[in-house]
Structure 1
Amino acid sequence: MQDTLIPVIADDREKKSDVVDELLRLPQVRLTIQRLPVGDYLVADRLLFERKTLVDLVASIKDGRLFTQARRLAAAKGIPALILQGTGSDLRSQGMSREAIQGALVSLAFRFGIPVLRARDGRECVSLMLYAAGQTADGKKVLLRRPAALGKSKQRRQLYILQGLPGVGDARSRHLLERFQTPANVFTASVDELKQVQGIGRIQAEKIYSLIHENPAEYRFSAGHR
């Protein structure tokens, strides 16, 4: 029956994805394709999913787009989530360390209140979205809480970028920005320059420098995560 179908709105920029192909195949889904102001899929009028391939995840971390999208997703109406699609082999030769990726995912979960889900392909993406819709149906209590919206100033965004570095919280990010003026200058600073910042000694400076410049040959997710 029509009123038992699960409504799904897919952003029109997703219409060529394997996720849309899978949604079109399912008789229990009522799919609409239109431009969404934020996110890629709105499921059951309450679940807002952003989908990223693992390659796009790395690119969005590098250009800062990930946290801009996260802020908008967290502030939007609905329950937000990020689905990462792909396998560990997709991250080979992407030039980003495991720690940098993990740091970004931790920020999504704890700073923005956005859970991160893993899917191997389009079929698993759809399974996750529909399962989540079932888990939150019929007035079931949702345990996710969204934090207050982040500040929109450029300085605040720069501070959040710096807070993704190891051991850098609110105070140290401010000291770094005062000393170097921009995140770009922080990323090109030497260990000796970093250790001159208030609250950052040599060990901390070496950790920051190592994270920024480390380029492992291969990044692998653990066997427990597909």
Structure 2
Amino acid sequence: MVEHVLVADFREKDSLLVKLLVKLGVEPVFANLSVGDYLVSNTVAIERKTPADLVSSILDGRFSDQLERLKQAYPHNVLLVTGGLSEALSRAPNPGIVYSRLALACLSGTSIVVLDSDLEAAQFVRWLVKESKKSWEGFEPMIKRKPKNQSPSEQVFNVLTAIPSVGAKRAEKLMRAFPNLLAVLQAPEEKLASLVGSTAAKHIKRVAYTQISHAEKHTKLTDYIHEN
């Protein structure tokens, strides 16, 4: 059963990696790619190399040119090396050049993945395709739970920093300027703006007057805090 689709260069059509990808449910669509060997999406490209090809391309200068063209075409690029590098490096006249070029590639934004076999490479590409195709609509980030037994001041700090545009520094400034959380929420917007800026002030007032369900009726957030 075909689960996902990616674009592969025609040169990869008879490769073992493509055959393994098909078995894993990833159906390549073949095209003449000007750069890269696989397109995971319109922003992610993969350049695949064997260890021997990687070393030779670095030594003859092709490597830098290929990566530069890849970076110009796609925001995210992956160098996928299939097979251990140890043997190829042992045969290189100057392994230091290879390490240097790989380090520079990393620093310029290229992700380098070295896997031992085509099967491992196929599994990696499958998951890369799967993750890149996920819809972020309705995505809910994992929430870092606040530690228990916090002091009231720490709880107020957490409430303030949860408001958009109110970071730690602005929260601390508000806590120095007002005696309690209720005073912050009830303060005039102009006063808040003078302390934390107009954008943060608007968000604070929006939170303060957001209608919430409490005791089977809608009340202002300030009333809710006052009653609790």
State the TM bucket, normalised to the shorter chain. 0.5 to 0.7
Check the 8 A contact 2:8/2:28 in 1, yes or no: yes
> Which residue in the other structure is 1:119 paired with?
115
Q: Secondary structure at the match of 1:48?
A: strand
Partner of 2:76: 79
Are 1:13 and 2:11 an aligned pair?
A: yes
2:53 equivalent among 53, 56, 80: 56
Q: Partner residue of 1:68?
A: 65
SS at match of 1:39: coil
Name the SS for the 1:51 alignment partner.
strand
1:129 CA drift (Å) = 1.6
Indicate if the aligned counterparts of 2:6 and 2:129 stay in contact, CA closer than 8 A.
Answer: no
Equivalence for 1:97: 94
Corresponding residue number in structure 1 for 2:85 = 88
Percent sequence identity over aligned pairs:
30
Q: Is the 2:89–2:95 Cα contact (8 Å) retained in structure 1?
A: no
Evaluate the alpha carbon distance shift between residue 92 and residue 100 of structure 1 in structure 2; reply closer, same or farther with a 3 A threshold.
closer
- Indicate the residue corresponding to 1:134 in structure 2: 130
- Tell which structure's C-alpha radius of gyration is larger: 2
Alignment partners' CA distance in 2, 1:133 and 1:9: 10
Q: Distance in 1 between matches of 2:7 and 2:85?
A: 29
How far is 1:135 from its partner? 3.4
Deviations 1:8-35, CA, capped at 9 Å, x for gaps = 1111111222111212222x32221221
Counterpart CA distance in 2 for 1:61 and 1:48 is: 19
3-state SS of paired residue (2:36): coil
Structure 1: state its 5+ residue gaps.
142-226
Q: Which runs of 4+ in 1 moved over 4 A?
A: none
Larger RCO: 1 or 2 (CA < 8 Å, sep 6+): 1
* Structure number having the greater helix percentage: 2
Tell me what 1:29 maps to: 26
Which structure 2 residue ranges, 5 or more long, are not aligned?
Answer: 140-228
Counterpart in the other structure of 2:144: none
TM-score (norm 1): 0.54
Q: 2:179 maps to which residue?
A: none
Whole-angstrom CA distance in 1 between matches of 2:106 and 2:38: 19
| Paired residues of 1:6 and 1:43 also in contact (CA < 8 A) | no
How many residue pairs were aligned?
Answer: 137
1:166-211 CA deviation, whole Å, 9 max, x = no partner?
A: xxxxxxxxxxxxxxxxxxxxxxxxxxxxxxxxxxxxxxxxxxxxxx
CA-atom RMSD, angstroms?
A: 2.4
